[in-house]
Amino acid sequence: MKLKSAYLINLAIVFFLILFLFTPLGFYAKVYINRLFSFNPTPVIEREREALVNYNWNLKDMQGKVLNLNEKKGNVIFINFWASWCPPCVAEMPDLQKLYSDYGDRVTFLFVARDQKDKVSGFLNKKGYELPVYFEGGLTPKILYNTSLPTTFILDRKGKIVMAEVGAANWNSSETRAFLDNILRE
């Protein structure tokens, strides 16, 4: 009898792992877990803040129109690198949409997708997100390059990186909003 119950437990564990790893159910479970464990982003310590020197970076929007980051120099800039296949990226999107909805007129938001255009478009339409999404049209400035997704940077008006976060974060927190308000006042 013991052998049979141990066998059934092992079979149930294998079944759960297969569901979690190889089905869409697993993707949504990973998104949910990332939402549960996303924390407030942490500002970069003042003495460690690096500045973006070269703003010459081309991005293409969903319609193919080119934006050069030089056009946004002097603004507070929020850059988020993400992909629709990335569970932590998908987990933070609802908070990012809320933040963009409230700050989009005062902060330059650049959601840089490292994904296929049709998948990004389908994802945004399915979720009802209205975010300014771009694709890299040239080499990303070295100071902003990171292979991990999601990666988010906030630059102040002088181009200093005041926040750099790798992984899912709670971007709609009162602390993040207060931080943005302070940066906008400078």
**Once rounded to an integer, what is the mean pLDDT over residues 76-103?**
97
Q: In the predicted model, is pLDDT for residue 67 greater than 90?
A: yes
Q: Which residue would you say has higher pLDDT here, 99 or 14?
A: 99
Q: CA–CA separation, 127 vs 95, rounded Å?
A: 13
Q: In the predicted model, is pLDDT for residue 3 greater than 70?
A: no
pLDDT of residue 24: 72
Q: In the predicted model, is pLDDT for residue 2 greater than 70?
A: no
pLDDT in tens, 100-151: 999 999 999 999 999 999 999 999 999 999 999 999 998 999 999 999 999 9
pLDDT of residue 7: 76
Q: CA–CA separation, 111 vs 1, rounded Å?
A: 57
pLDDT of residue 6: 74
Total Cβ atoms within 10 A of residue 129: 15
User: In which band, very low, low, confident or very high, does the pLDDT at 157 lie, cut at 50, 70 and 90?
Assistant: very high
Q: In the predicted model, is pLDDT for residue 86 greater than 70?
A: yes
Cβ proximity of 185 and 106 under 8 Å: no
**Once rounded to an integer, what is the mean pLDDT over residues 64-70?**
96
pLDDT in tens, 5-54: 777 777 777 777 776 667 776 777 777 777 777 777 878 777 788 999 99
Q: CA–CA separation, 57 vs 69, rounded Å?
A: 5
pLDDT of residue 48: 82
**Once rounded to an integer, what is the mean pLDDT over residues 156-185?**
95
pLDDT of residue 21: 67
Q: Distance of CA 54 to CAs 61, 69, 104, 139, 160, Å?
A: 20, 9, 24, 11, 12
